[in-house]
Amino acid sequence: MPQNNAPAPYARRSPFAPRWPRKLLGTLLTIAVTLLGLLFVTFMIGRVMPIDPVLAVIGERATQAQYNAVYLELGLDKPLLAQFAIYVNDVLHGDFGTSIRTGQQVSDDIRRVFPATLELATLGTLIGVFIGVPLGVLAAVYRGTWIDQLARLVGLVGYSMPIFWLGLVGLLVFYGILGWVAGPGRLGVFYQGIVPTRTGLLLLDAAIAGDWTVFKDAFSHIILPASLLGYFSLAYISRMTRSFMLEQLNSEYVTTARVKGLSEWNVVWRHAFRNIRIQLVTVIALAYANLLEGSVLTEIIFAWPGIGSYITTSLLSNDMNSVLGGTVVIGTIFVALNIFSDLLYRFFDPRAK
């Protein structure tokens, strides 16, 4: 009887099944090492600063007995590695110490001031995206024309002009001369405390409460600094969008689509732009992270009570607990946004898996 030498059917297995646990473990390990490095850097900054942490807590008029007691309480008598372990444990439990300037827990202070920065950076990013992306696409489509030159000029000015100078000019023109926007601060004195705090985002809280008078005043305060940050975000996003689109428009599939008679709108938006969305996710996430951590000067100029202004004021007051706590929070958010953009990249592009 003839034997059947045909190979047994191959049991097809997903190429991702055996690898995803290792990838997940590698990602988690990378996150842990990055955050640990961030904590180590902030810890060392606190140790090398020419500020006595004990005197920063108890003041210069304390007795020697009080000094010794706080010295032991802070664990400064232990080896440096043990001090770092204590610092990491405290941070993991959300304990950044007590602020000398406010007398409250640093975590409570950050929870109070961070929504202002979040609201400002979010609105600035939205402005940058909704103007920068179409501007970059148009600059690529009409390469070499006045539209392209205008987009490049906008980007050049955005990269070249100091943000504090534009902020001062904006206050002088739009607030001092034209009176189109409200002045520094987050809300007018008359409207303070009217809207109950639910999210910490004034515009959202006012909308939830249905108080459109407060909403209008809050919007009048935020629109100028948000537009300023949005302009810098716009410069970066439009330049990167133009670069991505030029690469796609010079591809063979775009030439083939045009030869087939597809409209220019379909070629640009349904084919070329569709293929750069993945890259734009990373660009926008990085722009958002940069606004969250880089809005210090804007917050100072506009007296915006955000985390950037909080860290700066704390640094001038030698309040290192607040400075290091704010730095850790901003650094952690920056790492989280990078990881989030990487996950979105993998989600939208199966090839990245």
**pLDDT in 10s for each residue of the chain, 353 residues:** 455 554 544 444 444 445 667 776 777 787 788 888 888 888 887 777 666 667 666 666 777 777 778 777 767 777 778 878 888 888 888 888 778 778 788 888 998 999 999 999 999 999 999 999 999 999 988 888 898 898 888 888 887 888 888 888 888 999 888 888 888 888 888 888 888 888 888 899 889 988 899 899 999 999 999 999 999 889 889 999 999 998 888 888 878 878 887 777 888 888 888 888 888 888 888 888 888 876 788 888 898 888 888 888 888 877 778 888 888 888 888 888 877 777 777 766 655 55
* Whole-number Cα distances in Å, 28 to 18, 23, 195, 198, 257: 17, 9, 41, 33, 43
State residue 16's pLDDT score.
Answer: 46
pLDDT, position 348: 65
φ, ψ of residue 235 to 5 degrees: the values are -60, -40
Token pair listed for 49: 């600063």
Encoded tokens for 31:
């996150």
- Helix crossing, 212-249 with 277-294: angle to 10°? 130
Nearest to 326 by CA among 67, 154, 112: 112
Which H/E stretch holds residue 316? helix 307-316
**144 burial class (0-12, 13-18, 19+ CB within 10 angstroms)?**
exposed
Amino acid of residue 55: L
Question: Which residues are registered as beta bridge partners of 105?
Answer: 98
Nearest to 153 by CA among 135, 171, 165: 135
Buried b (16+ CB within 10 A) or exposed e, 176-204: eeeeebbebebbeeebeeebeeeeebbbb
Confidence at residue 261, expressed as pLDDT on a 0 to 100 scale: 78
Q: Going from the N-terminus, what domains does the chain have, and what CATH number goes with each?
A: 20-92 (no CATH), 112-352 (1.10.3720.10)
Backbone angles phi, psi at 30, to 5 degrees: -65, -40
Q: How many helices (H) and strands (E) does the chain have?
A: 15, 0
Question: 103 burial class (0-12, 13-18, 19+ CB within 10 angstroms)?
Answer: exposed
Nearest to 297 by CA among 166, 198, 194, 179: 166
Instruction: Return the number of other C-beta atoms located less than 10 Å from residue 127's C-beta.
Output: 19
Question: Would you state the pLDDT for residue 125?
Answer: 92
